[in-house]
Amino acid sequence: MQGILDAAHAFFDGLTSVHWGPLTLAVLCHLVKVAVRTRAWRNIVQAAYPQVNVRWRSVYGAYVAGVGVNAIVPARGGDVLKLYLLKHRVDGSTYPTLGATLIVDTLFDTVVASILVAWALAFGLLPGLDVLPRLPEVEWLYLLQHPRVAAVVGIAIVVLLGVGLTWGSRRVADFWDRVRQGFTILRKPREYLRRVVLLDALDWSLRLLSIYFFLEAFGLPANAENVLLVQVTLSLATALPFTPGGVGTEQALLVYVFKGQAATSALLSFSIGVKIVLTIVNVTVGFIAILLMLRTFRWRDHVEADRASIERS
């Protein structure tokens, strides 16, 4: 953690050396990427509720609000807010269906991210299990170092999921029908390719372009391989979100995969700098959306009240 604090201090000290043109372009690409991504999610939700006019602005607001909360709250807490906000803006929608649309929304991401991770592993660009325990700041290493504890955690997660799904199916007779409803667009391959996959591909193009401009802004080698490596570290850092934005894991992996290309301080400054910039952008846009949609920043009160009303019904 001290290394991260030192990198943050170095980032603020070195603001004068940041190239503001590429930094601005990186932020613009990020904002456009989010807009494109929400169009894809809107199309998935619309397919699940064809009788309702699903407004893109509602989907966009719910999405950026969730992203803003995820930037400062661990364990993807913002995803709960996404579902809450959208449920109250799509007539007749249910949490099981909207939750399923989020799964559909991540299918393309999962495939592409898995391919990139496989590529990095195949060429030895990522640390192996023998190296991981020696990397600092990787907050999920405890499970790798204690397989018995990892097994218990895994079993507990499976049991909790089973109990939750059983509870849901008992409380709601058509629970599984509602879940399947969220996958409606997958039963129309052409529509899925045209209205989701193409947008997801554009989303990824903008994502990689944003990384390219961030590398340029911080004076690091901006080539295709480095862009992909940064994306791999981002994917791995968010796979187990025990900290907000996967901070810690991402920095340790970046130092490893970029070894020999730049000084450790420069790499940490880049990583923390990108994290700070995107956190400021995401939190600002997200909390503006929360204020406009809820008329307050106390979003937890709304979520808890909604949960209590569901439990009483």
pLDDT score, position 188: 94
Q: Looking at the domain assignment, is residue 157 inside a domain?
A: no
Q: Looking at the domain assignment, is residue 155 inside a domain?
A: no
Q: Looking at the domain assignment, is residue 217 inside a domain?
A: yes
Nearest Cα residue to 178 out of 259, 101, 234: 101
Q: Are 196 and 48 in contact (CB under 8 A)?
A: no
Q: Looking at the domain assignment, is residue 164 inside a domain?
A: no
Distance CA 309, CA 306 (A): 5
pLDDT score, position 143: 47
Q: Looking at the domain assignment, is residue 218 inside a domain?
A: yes
- In the predicted model, residues of the chain with pLDDT beneath 50 are 1-3, 129-144, 169, 246, 313
pLDDT score, position 78: 84
What is the domain count for the chain? 1
Residue ranges in the chain assigned as alpha helix (H): 2-13, 20-48, 56-70, 78-87, 95-122, 141-145, 147-171, 175-182, 189-192, 198-217, 224-239, 249-257, 264-294, 299-312
Q: Looking at the domain assignment, is residue 143 inside a domain?
A: no
pLDDT score, position 147: 54
pLDDT score, position 129: 46
The DSSP code for 245 is G
Please report, for residues 109, 111, 162, 186, 199, the alpha-carbon distance to residue 190 in angstroms, rounded to integers and kept in the order given. Answer: 19, 18, 33, 9, 13
Distance CA 253, CA 237 (A): 8
pLDDT score, position 130: 47
Residue 126 phi/psi, 5° resolution? -110, 150
Q: Looking at the domain assignment, is residue 221 inside a domain?
A: yes
Q: Which domain holds residue 67?
A: 2-137+172-312
pLDDT score, position 298: 72
pLDDT score, position 213: 97
Distance CA 300, CA 221 (A): 42
pLDDT score, position 79: 87
Q: Looking at the domain assignment, is residue 81 inside a domain?
A: yes
**pLDDT tens per residue across span 145-196:** 555 555 555 666 666 666 665 655 455 557 788 999 999 999 999 999 999 9
pLDDT score, position 164: 61
